[in-house]
Chains A and B, each alone.
Chain A
Amino acid sequence: MTKKIKLKISARLLKKKLRKDSAGGAKHCRFCNNPELVSEINYKNASFLRKFLTERGKILPARISGNSCKYQKMVAREIKNARVMALLPYCATSY
């Protein structure tokens, strides 16, 4: 019995490891320790902000883009400003 339980745990851990490795290691924030890139976050620079949108025009979650909380808030605010000025779409549809 004890052996079986051990095997089960090891298999789960192995799967976890595989999943981590397939994703290409741990994610890190691209803005931390990179002041040049931080200065590009502006509502006028719409082509840069477009990287943080999905195909449908939604804001990418930090879970996927890997931004830290501080910069995710900055990016989201500037995207919302750019949407007001019609530089970025609220909802991407073909019109």
Chain B
Amino acid sequence: MLRYEMLFLTVPEITGDEIDSIKSYFQKSVRSAQGDMLSFERWGKYRLAYPVNKNDYGVYFLTRFEVELENRDALLKDIRGSYVFKFNHLIVKNMICRLDEKASLEYKRPESLEDTPHDIDSFLKKNDMEGLLKPKAGFRGKRAEEKSIIGGVAFGKETKVAVPVTAFEEEDELEDFEDNIE
């Protein structure tokens, strides 16, 4: 079995019904080629790096499927034909990639606009305000100084407590010694 993935970009105004129609079409075509549909994921809405068809935003989808070598060409031709003729008003860009079969299916993707919080409530829930409220976080230089001072104070107290006691005793002894001489 050969494993493939397809990433495609759609217009931002895509509706749920249109997504379902695309998904069902892919499932049908993969099934007819005796392959397996592994996943169909919606990444979310993104701000594009450059405007595509006068759209600044877009929605990404990632599909993964497996096919035998014999039916591969027919399936890929079918899929390519679908977004040229059928979904040409929805799908703007696409990329089909061959995947390694032994490699894991995990991947990393950039954060979408839906993942990043917009409301104040979600911002507060994440507890990002701490850095703004506490003045310590603002100045890195000051923070380091404070830390070092705290360490120094703790060390100094112990030594200060210990040293003067012995010093006084010595002085007293010396005074006594001087008195005795006189």
Contact = CB atoms under 8 A, between A and B. Distances in A.
B74 interface: no
**Interface residues of chain A: helix, strand, loop or mixed (majority):** loop
A47 interface: yes
B50 A48 contact: no
Given A44-B7, A81-B95, A95-B51, A86 B111 contact: no
Given A44-B7, A89-B49, A95-B51, A84 B110 contact: no
Nearest to A81: B95
B50 A45 contact: no
A86 B48 contact: yes
Interface residues of A, number: 19
Interface string B93-117: 1010100000000011111000000
Interface in A9-63: 40, 42-48
Interface string A72-85: 00000000010111
A89 B109 CA distance: 16
Contact of B110 (A81, A83, A87, A95): A87
Contacts of B60: 85
B49 A45 contact: no
A78 B108 CA distance: 14
A46 B111 CA distance: 9
Contacts of B108: 40, 42, 44-45, 47-48
**Interface residues of chain B: helix, strand, loop or mixed (majority):** strand
Nearest to B7: A85
B58 interface: yes
A57 to B, nearest CB: 8
A11 to B, nearest CB: 37
Instruction: Select the residue from A86, A90, A91, A95 with max chain B CB neighbours within 10 A.
Output: A86
B50 A86 contact: yes
Interface in B50-86: 50-52, 56, 58, 60, 62
Interface in B17-66: 46, 48-52, 56, 58, 60, 62
B51 to A, nearest CB: 6
Nearest to B49: A89
A31 B110 CA distance: 21
B9 interface: yes
Contact of A84 (B46, B93, B109, B111): B93
Interface of A: 40, 42-48, 81, 83-91, 95
